[in-house]
Amino acid sequence: MDKSTKNIGLSISNIDIPSKFFLAPMAGYTDHVFRSLCRDFGAGLLVTELVSVAALSRKISRTYRYMQYQEKEKPLSLQLFGDNEDEYKKSIEENDLSFYSFIDINMGCPTKKVVKNGGGSALLTDTDKMISILKAAKSASKIPVSVKIRLGYSRGEGGYIERALALKEEGCAFISVHGRYATDMYRGTADWDSIAEIKQALGDFIVIGNGDIKTKEEALKAFETSKVDGIMVGRAAVGCPWIFQELNSIFDESINYKKISIRDLTIKHLKGCAELYGETSGVHFMRKFVMKYLGYTDLDKNKKVEFMQCESINDVIKLLDKFNIN
């Protein structure tokens, strides 16, 4: 594989993206604090948490929290979900979305909260509806519109190539494909062979693959076997935002690796969450990340549990110092 620096990123709809490795949208994780950390380590396109068009079209105030961003996040994609074409149009037309580089329509989320209202992967059961929503969003948007999908709703149903071709033909900017079906949730392993079939069928059209990429070796294999244009990384980045600099080295061996300090990274992340959510809520929110970060230390389980009792930033710092976490 060509490892020249000029190939580390890619261009989509005349928008330059600094890396072929995108950060997947993850509800409850990919707020602007975490996204910015990932960008610091070389992530390509960043994507917001899922934003409901039902709420955004009604300008429900709490919805805008999911849309907050920092300047350094550009290029950033706004992830929308829902099943009502008029709500997509109203959300796009009546809100200032000029900072975002793309609008991404989620047609792949398998969670009950999203699916029961007809959004996310529920749309995979009705290709005409998928296209109708894409048309509605495109008609209202001044920025490119992409779509995130899974292979389908249930295993054995087929049709994933036809759905992908329909999105391409309707002028979708690019598609991201998670190599599972909705009913799989996150069980089993991602089917990169099917992702490869989609990429082959779509030719030069941009396809981003997603699913189970946790190491540089897995990413390299996925690129070589599927020929996708980029890879979206989700769960593997949680507690390990530096994964992006490791993955980028596939294309640029001269990357100057940033030194990883679990202590400094935890405090930086914690302070960002405290600013976003308030100190107590931010510390509570950070617990899932702290446990992931501590997984890269030699602390035993009992010592890690002490961090779950913290109520303030100082509480966390005291424990980091107590256990000599660097």
Q: Active-site residues: which are they? A: 109
What are the helix (H) ranges across the chain? Answer: 32-40, 53-56, 85-93, 112-115, 127-140, 160-169, 192-202, 216-226, 243-248, 262-277, 279-294, 301-307, 313-322
**CA 35/CA 72 separation, integer angstroms:** 10
Q: Look-up: residue for tokens 């909260």?
A: 113
User: Cα separation of 56 and 79, whole Å?
Assistant: 12
Q: Fill in the DSSP letter of residue 173.
A: S
Confirm if 72 and 41 have CB atoms less than 8 A apart. no
Considering only CA atoms, which of 91, 36, 4, 63 is closest in space to residue 237? 36
Q: What is the DSSP string of 87-108?
A: HHHHHHHTS--TT-SEEEEEE-
Distance separating alpha carbons of residues 70 and 13, to the nearest angstrom: 22
Taking only Cα atoms into account, the Rg of the chain, rounded to an integer number of angstroms, comes to 20
Please say whether the dihedral angle defined by the alpha carbons of residues 53, 57, 60 and 66, taken in this order, is positive or negative: positive
CA distance 235 to 213: 9
Q: How many CB atoms lie within 10 A of CB 260?
A: 15
Alpha-helix runs per DSSP H in 203-261: 216-226, 243-248
The dihedral of CA 184, 190, 191, 196: what is its sign? positive
SS (H, E, C) 281-313: HHHHHHHHHHHHHHCCCCCCHHHHHHHCCCCCH
